[in-house]
Structure 1
């Protein structure tokens, strides 16, 4: 039987709490070694203590001072892009592997079904954003059939599922996701938009992906997208197409002018509509944005742990 790899989570908010519960309930590879925050009265730290996880309210310095720290191999950072730079410097000085759930993007971007095997030896890997995890697989699926010249994604999440960390990182969300659409998804240009939907009752996460690409076999594109959806469902069961993939031919008589592109576009427009239902490990099922982010982070850490143990 494989010995589990001990991990720590820095950031006891929505994302960190959901990730902790996932690891404890689902992972056969990872074991919680510490849960870290800066407010001793935070709900996340109190929950972790009730679940028997060692905690500290002294931040990253408190983690380093914990007796459990020497046994921890991987640290998840679920704080903010601004805080992550310092956290990473401290953790790298102690030889820890870091899985970054903020949009700081210090390490290479990782989207498990697209490039999940390529950065397992990197000291720091970045999980992009919840919107990126949901949509970049689709951009990549289209791009492997027809070159995507422009990819645009719109991620709509329930306002109640966006904690202080998410709200503090809106600008970084759009910048990091846009860059990853190009670097991982393969698009020549990328754009990302996030919407915090205040509707009551809260609505499930919805994502729209638009790809402007070269003309290609539409059935091949549709099949590629469906195959990618099935792959994401292996670790996020609530991930699904909302309707069939849509196609529109853009002819030279009515070309599209996209400010982010060089010149007018003619070719094929592919529209994909997704929804992500959460597993409700911490927040209700409408918080699919948490579920896909933490599920992707756990899957990546499990692969890193397997590489360390090999």
Structure 2
């Protein structure tokens, strides 16, 4: 913690789109955090150049360069915005040094955290995983449904602009589907989960869109009202830290036709209804374009976790 400001110092590994947007958010919106260092591997990256102009410590030597910085000991929280494979390497070096890691890759070394669902459950974990952009957008909806009625199967489709998918995102496509699917079950509360991501090359670039399908037993109309109310409340909870997060249209709850083979998704059981929610995520445009809501929701979620960790520490200091 800084002796002059009383704020918790953070470092960001990854000077690409996500890392740079996160740096801007820390500077403009954070109450309890301050930048300590920006770390990359490309000395010509825009993120490192901006960090230098702002007067922050920088290195283009990756995690080893970070550990060699003069102010490294003062840094308490480190965001990793690289790739799943790189995070495994970075965590291996930083965790033994007592640094708190917030993983914005799909590496899933630590517990999954979706702030609107389980923010307070893992604040003591040395390494927390922010799942994926699709997970941050859709898992709250699955959880909202599962709070009302058991979810036998949940499927999410995340459609993002191809322009908003940088090298790290593209390198993590396989991990995206695996990590998101697992978190739909572990955090969302579904019995089974599946995740699909679409990189849309349309021009002009399209805003992030997400579709959530849940198979449930909900024959009672009053239960439909409870499900819709639970989803609408959850959308408000997420929008509190991602203002561009919203329902695109009213939640649909439809009876499943007798000839629809949903039993192949639910271990032989036949749920009675399908719940469908359609979302869009508009970015805050702090650094990234507004269409890149997929990246904005990741940086906003990661910042929420770090803020809560730092606020709790400040309250007990």
TM-score by length of 1: 0.97
Q: Quick one: which of 103, 107, 119 aligns to 2:106?
A: 103
**Corresponding position: 1:201 with 2:207:** no
Q: Could you say which residue in structure 1 is the equivalent of 2:130? A: 127
Q: Could you say which residue in structure 2 is the equivalent of 1:210? A: 213
The count of residues paired between Structure 1 and Structure 2 equals 309
Q: Could you say which residue in structure 2 is the equivalent of 1:296? A: 301
Q: Could you say which residue in structure 1 is the equivalent of 2:273? A: 268
CA 1:258–1:198 in structure 2 vs 1: closer, same or farther (change >3 Å)? farther
Runs of 4+ in 1 over 3 A off after TM superposition: none
SS of residue matched to 1:117: helix
Q: Quick one: which of 280, 283, 303 aligns to 1:278?
A: 283
- Post-superposition shift, 1:264? 4.7
Q: Retained in 2: the 8 A contact 1:20–1:32?
A: yes
- Post-superposition shift, 1:87? 0.5
Deviations 1:184-209, CA, capped at 9 Å, x for gaps: 00000000000000000000000000
Q: Quick one: which of 246, 262, 274 aligns to 1:257?
A: 262
Distance, in Å, in 2 between the alignment partners of 1:148 and 1:261 is: 10
Distance, in Å, in 2 between the alignment partners of 1:257 and 1:187 is: 15
Q: Retained in 2: the 8 A contact 1:255–1:265?
A: no
Question: Which consecutive residues of structure 1, in runs of 5 or more, have no partner in the other structure?
Answer: none
Q: Could you say which residue in structure 2 is the equivalent of 1:145? A: 148
Distance, in Å, in 1 between the alignment partners of 2:271 and 2:305 is: 38
Deviations 1:228-261, CA, capped at 9 Å, x for gaps: 001111101100000000011125x334335443
- When the two chains are superposed, the root-mean-square deviation of aligned CA atoms in Å is 1.3
Q: Quick one: which of 163, 167, 171 aligns to 2:166?
A: 163
Q: Retained in 2: the 8 A contact 1:250–1:256?
A: no
Choose 136-145 or 262-271, whichever is displaced more. 262-271
**Corresponding position: 1:80 with 2:83:** yes
Distance, in Å, in 1 between the alignment partners of 2:235 and 2:5 is: 30
Deviations 1:82-116, CA, capped at 9 Å, x for gaps: 01111011111211000000000000000001001
- Post-superposition shift, 1:266? 2.8
Distance, in Å, in 2 between the alignment partners of 1:214 and 1:305 is: 42
Q: Quick one: which of 286, 307, 312 aligns to 1:307?
A: 312
Alignment of 1:56-71 (within 5 A): 56-71=59-74
TM-score by length of 2: 0.95
Deviations 1:98-137, CA, capped at 9 Å, x for gaps: 0000000000000001001000000000000000000000
Q: Quick one: which of 2, 6, 25 aligns to 1:22?
A: 25
Alignment of 1:39-50 (within 5 A): 39-50=42-53
Distance, in Å, in 2 between the alignment partners of 1:191 and 1:93 is: 34
- Post-superposition shift, 1:41? 1.0
Q: Quick one: which of 220, 230, 241 aligns to 2:236?
A: 230
